[in-house]
Structure formats: structure tokens, C-alpha cells
Amino acid sequence: MIKSFKGAHIWILGASSGIGLALARELSDAGAILALSSRRRPELNDINEALGGQHLVVPCDVSDAASIEEACNKITKHFPRIDSAIYMAGYYNPTKFEDIEIQEVRKTIDVNLTGAFVFSTHILKVLRKQDKGQIALCASVAGYRGLPNGQPYSATKAAIINMAESLRIENKNPAIDIKVINPGFVRTPMTDKNPFKMPMIIEPENAAKAIASGLQSRAFEIHFPKKFTYFLKLLRILPSWIYFRLMKDQ
């Protein structure tokens, strides 16, 4: 966990919009020194300027493994250490299973899952070398169980949860903190695609505050809003036949 954000060096991959952007603002206001990454340099430059211009802008395409490695190398050269590395990149296109297009599956897996694996392998080497630090991977409560019209997004988020759990178990250094972030519905350009009413939806600023608080806790999972996520956790432990019966009309 991070005791204080003041002076902490934090890499946010996926910082140009949605929760990642709100988190960048939250951590910058708390005194963190950020490396801001996404595909679009102009947007990152504008964000950095709005935050006072003191942060490092590092464009990165998460669908390109070489781009992630290059970004990690650049950050390690400019920062004396990396206190936390947060993977907020994500792609979402709600689709019925029968309408899924393979190119959409590949794009979703590349951004949501493969990018997270590549990011984690590179940053883990850095944290092991400096003998401390934090990795936080953004999944979703959509990964708790299979949801209607949620593929392939839900599958990749379930995989991120599983991956983070494995990484946490395999990590033997207590000074290296592994976390998974599981948001409920947050009002972002991604959730704007949903054609249905989203229960207990929150603003990205509230999500950012919840994540910032979780990064400073000992908890493995950061999940919010709690009333919604605990309900979904209950669904997660129900026997399959009950769960399917509850979801059949959704």
C-alpha cells in the first residue's frame, strides 16, 4: 500500500479519459508525481497542462507490446522509482453473443487482457529490482459472473481478476503490493454505450476517490460502490442453477 501520495511516483496507463483521467486528477491534487500514458499525446499534453505541467507524458499503445516496454523504460529513466503502476486501459463494446465479431474479440482481448499481462511483466521486474512498489490492475464487477450481452468484455475482466489473484499468490515479497480494482457502473464514455438503466451508477470523481483510498489500504480488492458490489458478490456465490434462473429474463 501507499502511505502518502505526496511525492509518490505513479504510472497511470489509461489516463486520458474516464476513471483513469479522474484518478490522475485525484492523485495529482494529492501531491503525486505522475507518468500519464494512453495512445493520444495531444490529449495527455492537455491533461498535464491542466494539472500544472509537472507530470511526465508517455504515449503508449497497449495493443503493442513493444510500445508498453518502451514506455516502461522511459519512465524508469525519468523517475527515481515507481511507487505504483496502475493499469486503467480498457475497451468495451456491448454485444449479444450471437452478434460477436472476431475482430472485436481480438481488440477487447488485446487491450483488456494482453496489455495488462505485458504491463505487469515489465513493471514487476522494476519493482523486484527496487524491492518494493505496487501494481493495481483494473478489472470490473462484470468479471464476477457471466452477464447477458457482456462478452467478450466480461470474459477479459474475469481473466484480469484471476490473473491478479495468481500474481498476488506468486509474489513472495511483502513490500510489493498487488491489487485488483473492480468498479461497478461509473459514468464514462464506455458506459455511455449501454442501452439500459445502470443501477447505482457513480461519477468518475467518486470512483477515483474510492481507488485512491484503496491504494492506501491493505486490501487486495478495491471495489465500489459497496452496496452494489456486495450484492454482486452474493450472486457470485449462488449455485449456478439459481443464478441462471435469476438471469434468464435479463
Domain boundaries, the chain: 9-247
Q: Would you say 48 and 55 are in contact if contact means Cβ atoms under 8 Å apart?
A: yes
Full-model pTM: 0.95
pLDDT one-digit tens code per residue, 193-218: 888 888 999 999 999 999 999 999 99
- 9-247 folds as Rossmann fold (3.40.50)
CB contact set of 158 (below 8 Å; sequence gap of 6+) = 139, 143, 144
Check residue 101 and give its pLDDT.
Answer: 92
Could you list the beta-strand ranges (E) of 140-232.
Answer: 176-183, 221-224
pLDDT one-digit tens code per residue, 150-190: 899 999 999 999 999 999 999 999 999 999 999 999 999 88
